[in-house]
Amino acid sequence: MTYTISAVAKQFGLSRTALLYYDEIGLLSPRGRSSAGYRVYTEKDLLLMKEISCLRNAGLCLRDIQKTLGHKSSHREGVLRKRLEGLNGDIRRLREQQQQILSLLGTPEMSSSTRVLTKEKWVACLRKAGLDDKGMIRWHAEFEKSSPEAHQDFLESLGLAQAEISAIRKHCLDVAH
Could you read off the pLDDT of 119-166 as tens digits, one per residue?
Answer: 888 999 999 999 999 999 999 999 999 999 999 989 988 888 889 999
Are 151 and 169 members of one domain? yes
Of 62, 80, 107, which marks where a domain is finished?
A: 62
Q: What is the C-alpha to C-alpha distance for residues 141 and 146, in angstroms, rounded to an integer?
A: 9
Q: State the pLDDT at residue 10.
A: 96
For the chain, the residue count is 177
Are 125 and 171 members of one domain? yes
Are 27 and 7 members of one domain? yes
Q: State the pLDDT at residue 109.
A: 66
Q: State the pLDDT at residue 139.
A: 92
Residue with the bigger pLDDT between 112 and 46: it is 46
Q: CATH number of the domain that 42 lies in?
A: 1.10.1660.10
Q: State the pLDDT at residue 113.
A: 66
Q: State the pLDDT at residue 43.
A: 94
Within 8 A by CB and 6+ apart from 84, the residues are none
Are 85 and 75 members of one domain? yes
Q: State the pLDDT at residue 80.
A: 92
State pTM to two decimals. Answer: 0.68
Structural domain including 6 reads 2-62
Number of domains in the chain: 3
List pLDDT tens digits, range 43-69: 999 999 999 999 999 999 999 999 888
Say whether pLDDT at 34 is over 70: yes
Q: State the pLDDT at residue 110.
A: 66
Q: Give the mean pLDDT of the chain.
A: 89
**What stretch of H or E contains 32?**
strand 32-33
3-state helix, strand, coil in the chain (%, to 5): 70, 5, 25
**DSSP three-state, residue 40:** strand
Q: What is the C-alpha to C-alpha distance for residues 94 and 98, in angstroms, rounded to an integer?
A: 6
Confidence of residue 17 (pLDDT cuts 50, 70, 90): very high
Say whether pLDDT at 18 is over 90: yes
Q: What is the C-alpha to C-alpha distance for residues 133 and 36, in angstroms, rounded to an integer?
A: 75
- Phi, psi at 41, each rounded to 5°: -100, 145
Residue pair 177/148 in contact by the 8 Å Cβ criterion: no
What residues are paired with 41 via a beta bridge? 3
